[in-house]
Amino acid sequence: MSWANMKLKLFGVSLLTLLACTALPCTAKEFFIGADISALTLFEESGAKYLENGEPKDLIVILKDNGFNTVRLR
């Protein structure tokens, strides 16, 4: 393989790599933040209280206000 041919192939690979990287959309990834609240009813029935800044509040509202977007229920 000649030097000129090798340079041409290297240029082609570099160009394709550059085009592939710039053609992809730059979007922020969405993360799932979740909690297992299967026992929530049991805890609330036994007297558990959930507070935010010292004020009583529903746990599901607290989770939602703090960025949780997924829950697990059994």
Q: What is the DSSP annotation of 7-59?
A: HHHHHHHHHHHHHHHHHS---PPPPP-EEE-TTHHHHHHTT---EETTEE--H
Torsion over CA: 33, 36, 56, 69 (sign): positive
- Confidence check: pLDDT of 23 > 70: no
Domain limits for position 65: 34-74
**At residue 39, does pLDDT exceed 70?**
yes
User: 67 in a domain, yes or no?
Assistant: yes
Give percent of the chain with pLDDT exceeding 90: 55
Report yes or no on 47 lying in a domain. yes
Number of domains in the chain: 1
Predicted structure pTM score = 0.59
